[in-house]
Structure 1
Amino acid sequence: MAPSSTFSSWRRLCLAAAASVLFSGCELLEFSPNDFRGPESLTNLTQKNLDKLAAKPLPPGDTLRFVFTGDSQRFYNEVEALVASVNQQPGVSLMVVAGDISDFGLAREMRWVAERLNRLTIPYLTVIGNHDQVGNGRASYQQIYGPLNYSFVYGDTKFVFVDTNSREYNFNGRIPDVPWLQAQVQNLQGARRQVVMSHVPPQDSDFDQSLTPAYTRTLAEAPKLAFELNGHRHSSSIGQPFEDGVTYINSASFERNEYLIVTLWNDANDEPQFRLKKVSF
C-alpha cells in the first residue's frame, strides 16, 4: 500500500505543479493564432498617428518631405534598422507604408512591426496589403490600425489611401472602391495637390482588371495629382505605364534595405512637382 500511496501523492503533486505553472502564466497563452485582441496602446494606430501629425502642422506653402516604403512583412531586423535611419533624417514630416505589414495576416505580426515602428520620431500611416488580409487579417488590421480606405489633408497635400487587394475579395468587382475614390480625388478639401496610395498597382494581375480602366481614368482626371504610390512588387520603380500622364511609384520592400524620401511642392504655376531621393540603410 505504501508504494502505491506514495505514487498517487507524487502524481497529485505533479498535476498541481503543472496547473500552477499553467494558470500563473495564463497571460502568455494565445488560444488562437487568429486572435487579434491586444493592448490598447496597439489599437487604432492610424488615428493616433493622424493626431500626432495634426499636432505638428505644416504651414501653408511649405514644401513637404516624407518617407515612402512598403512591405515590412517578417523583416523585423530591417524594421529596426529602417527606424534608426529615418530618425536621422532632417525635415521629414511623416512616413507612409504601402501595405503588407504582416506576412500571414496575424495580429501578432502586425503588433511586432508596430512596436518597432512606434519608435519613429515622426508619425507613420499605412494602407492595407494583400498579406494583411490572409485569414482574419482584415479584422486584425482594422483593430490595430483602422479603416481600409481613408484620406487626410496635411499642409497643402491631400493623401488618399485605398484598398486595391482585389484578389483577396475574389475579384468581386467592388475592390478597389472606385466610386469612393472618385469622390475623394475630386474634393481637394482646400489642398493644393494630392497623392493616392494603394498596395497592389493597377497593372498587376492581383488587381481586378475589370476595374483597371475606371481606376486609371479616375486618377488621370484627378486635379492636382502628384503621383500614385504602390507596394506589392518588392522593388522600387517609377513610370507612366498607362501613358496617361499619371506617374506610378513603387516602393522597395524592407528586405531591400532602402526607402525613398519624397519632396513635394507646387511650382510658380501652382502645379505639383516632386523629387525622389533613395536612402540605403
Structure 2
Amino acid sequence: MAALALGGCELLEFSPNDFRSPENQTDLTAKNLERLRQQPLPAGDTLRFVFTGDSQRFYDEADDLVASVNQQAGIRFLVVAGDISDFGFAREMRWVDEKLRTLKVPYVTVIGNHDSVGNGREAYQHLFGPLNYSFQYGDTKFIMVDTNGREANFNGRTPDISWLKQQLSDLGGARREVVISHVPPQDPDFDPALSAAYAAALREAPRLVFEMNGHRHSSSITQPFNDGVWYVNSDAFSERRYMIVSVWGDKQFRVKQVKF
C-alpha cells in the first residue's frame, strides 16, 4: 500500500489555476510605475510610448517585439492593451512578463477578456495589480479601465462608469488624458447597457486625446460614434506590428506603425 501511495503522489502536479508567484512577479504594475517615476519626462516635452495588445501565447513574437522596441530611440514605456494570457492562467502571464522584463523601458498593462476567464482576474491582480487604475507621466494622465463586460456577465458594473467619470474630471495637474482599455465600446463583448454612457463620458472630457483598445487583433484609428473622439486599436503580437505613439501640446498626437 505504501508503494501504491508513493506512486500516486508522483502523478500529482500543481493546478494550472494556482496563481502564486515569486515576489519579483507580483505587483508588477506598481514596480513598473516606480521605474517610470525614476525617469521623469520634463514638462512640455513630447511623450513617446509603444502601444500594442493581445500577447496571449505569441511568445516567439514577443521576443522579436522586445528586440525591435529596444532599438527605438526616445521611447518612455510600453503599453499592452490586455489579453496578456490566453486562458487566464498565471503561468501564461508570468511567461509574458519574462519576455517583457527584458525591455529597456517599463511596461504597463490593462486586463483583457482572456485574462478574465476562470480565476484569471485574481491571477491578474496578484501578478499585476488593480483592474482599474490611473497614473500621470509628464503632462499626461493615463486611465486604465476594465471593460470586459461579457466576462462579468453584463452585470452593469463593468466598466465602472462612476470611477471613470471621476478620473476624467480630476486631471491632477496634467495637461491632457488618455483612456486605455481592452474591449472597445462598439464591440459586442462590451456591456451593451453601458456603451452609450462610456462613450458619453469620453465625449464630455475636454482634455481627452483618445481612447485606446486591443481585443480585435488589428490596428485602426477611427471615430466610431462620429462624436469627435478618436479610438485607437492595436494589433496583436501575432500581427508583428506595434504603434509608436507621440503626444504633445493640448491634444496633438501622431501614430507610427512599426513592423518587426
Q: TM-score, normalised on structure 1?
A: 0.89
Change in CA separation of 1:88 and 1:30 when aligned onto 2, cut-off 3 Å? farther
Q: For 2:218, give the aligned amino acid.
A: S
Q: For 2:53, give the aligned amino acid.
A: G
Matches within 5 A, 1:26-175: 30-175=13-158
Rounded Cα–Cα distance in structure 1 between residues aligned with 2:13 and 2:59: 21
RMSD: 1.7
Deviation at 1:30, TM superposition (A): 4.0
Rounded Cα–Cα distance in structure 1 between residues aligned with 2:48 and 2:170: 23
Provide the residue aligned with 1:183 in structure 2. 166
- SS of the residue corresponding to residue 184 of structure 1 reads helix
Provide the residue aligned with 2:187 in structure 1. 204
Contact 1:163 1:176 (C-alpha < 8 Å) held by counterparts: yes
- SS of the residue corresponding to residue 224 of structure 2 reads coil
Moved over 6 A (4+): none
Contact 1:165 1:176 (C-alpha < 8 Å) held by counterparts: yes
Deviation at 1:31, TM superposition (A): 1.9
What is the aligned length? 258
- SS of the residue corresponding to residue 173 of structure 2 reads coil
Rounded Cα–Cα distance in structure 2 between residues aligned with 1:140 and 1:209: 26
Q: For 1:73, give the aligned amino acid.
A: Q
Rounded Cα–Cα distance in structure 1 between residues aligned with 2:63 and 2:25: 17
The structure richer in helix per residue is 1
Structure 1 unaligned segments of length 5 or more: list them: 1-10
Q: Based on CA coordinates, which of the two structures has the bigger radius of gyration?
A: 1
Rounded Cα–Cα distance in structure 1 between residues aligned with 2:86 and 2:243: 22
Pairing partner for 2:247 from 264, 272, 275 = 264
Deviation at 1:224, TM superposition (A): 1.1
- SS of the residue corresponding to residue 142 of structure 2 reads strand
1:21-74 C-alpha deviation (Å, 9 max, x unpaired):
95xxx9xx7421100011111110000000000000000000000000000000
Provide the residue aligned with 1:279 in structure 2. 258
Q: Alignment identity in percent?
A: 65
- SS of the residue corresponding to residue 226 of structure 1 reads strand
Q: For 1:69, give the aligned amino acid.
A: T
Pairing partner for 2:197 from 202, 214, 225 = 214
